[in-house]
Amino acid sequence: MSYIWRRGNSCREETLVVKRIVMDKQPCIYFSNNNMQGIIMHGNGKSWNDKMKLAMCELERKIQKEASHHNRREEAWPGQEQVDAWTAERQQLRGCGQYCGGAAQEILVTKEARKKQNFIRSVCVQVAKSAAFALATIALIQGVSRHLPDSITVSSSVGGRELPIYCVETDKKQVALSFDAAWGNEDTGRILETLKKHNVKVTFFMTGGWVESYPDDVKAILAAGHDLGNHSENHKNMSQLSDEQCQEELMKVHTRVQELTGYEMFLFRPPYGDYDNHVITNIHKCNYYPIQWSIDSLDWKDYGADDIVRRVVESDKLKNGSIILMHNGAKFTADALDAVIVGLQDKGYELVPISELIYKDKYHMKADGTQVSGE
């Protein structure tokens, strides 16, 4: 048999399965529902109906127990006030961008704003760097112009090659005589007398050893109005030296001449005419003009005075702006000098020192080493 148990407005259905069974030779009732099993033993003197009532009472107690447990669970669930408080807290967290869901918009906006700020900051930094570089460049140029007015401010580069001055392009009918003074001094006096006789000024390129050995002649050359030029300290092949060694070769003799005479030399001729790009660059760094020659007298080969005169006066390279190489210590130079001067003058040339022949600024070089006025 089955029974439906109803209470209040709710309907709770419990099924009572009643079986008459025999246990230990005694009749009993077995009943079952969702979470309960029980066996009510037969009692002496109890009828079958009494046993049914006992089963029904047991079922009532079970239902009441479950109802009491359900009420306690309902009381344990948060009330409406607590739920409202939680809702308000979540809304506040959304507004601060710390809660998922609605916070995604805030985070996205924040990242975009940060990117924009970083971009603006990067642009400002680059502008500041460019401005600083421009100001530093201007300051450097102004400083060079103010403190080194005679320094070389143009490039002597042609096709990637740094060139010395071999000759000068000029409309003036002028040439320059030059003497390398690296050894010997027997004929220096005679040379100075011949130059004085013709009222000619020239350039002497002196090594450090020669200056040290003949300080009185250095002073005499300067006193006669001639150029003092630098021919290195030790007459080495400059292209085989480091940058530091190149500059040392120039500045040692420079200092010695300055201390001896007070004169600041600014013309340099590399020994043996040996140079490369780094040699010319270091010459410029020392505020010197690199000087070569366009006509070589070959007086150092001792072919005789007539040969020297012919090589100079009759040279096919003789023209306005030519630079002529001679040596004060060569055997026949002093003997040939008078004829050389007269021969050049007879052709209408004025003899000037190199310092007067070259351009000091605003010039460029041709591939053959000719110095040309203008940038």
Cα–Cα distance between 1 and 15 in angstroms, integer?
A: 9
- 229: helix, coil or strand? strand
Closest by Cα among 279, 175, 169, 196 to 232: 279
Question: What are the beta bridge partners of residue 27?
Answer: 22
Residue-level length of the chain: 375
Given the residues 226, 231, 254, 327, the one annotated as active site: 327
216 is catalytic: no
**What are the DSSP calls for 259-321, one per residue?**
HHH-----EE--GGG---HHHHHHHHHTT-EEB--SEE--GGG---HHHHHHHHHT-TT--TT
Cα–Cα distance between 210 and 260 in angstroms, integer?
A: 13
Given the residues 180, 187, 217, 227, the one annotated as active site: 180
**What are the DSSP calls for 18-34, one per residue?**
-EEEEETTEEEEEEEET
254 is catalytic: no
Cα–Cα distance between 327 and 332 in angstroms, integer?
A: 10
Angle between helices 277-285 and 243-261 (to 10 degrees): 40
If you compute the radius of gyration of the chain from its CA atoms, what whole number of angstroms results? 57
Cα–Cα distance between 264 and 258 in angstroms, integer?
A: 6
What are the residue numbers of the active site? 180, 327
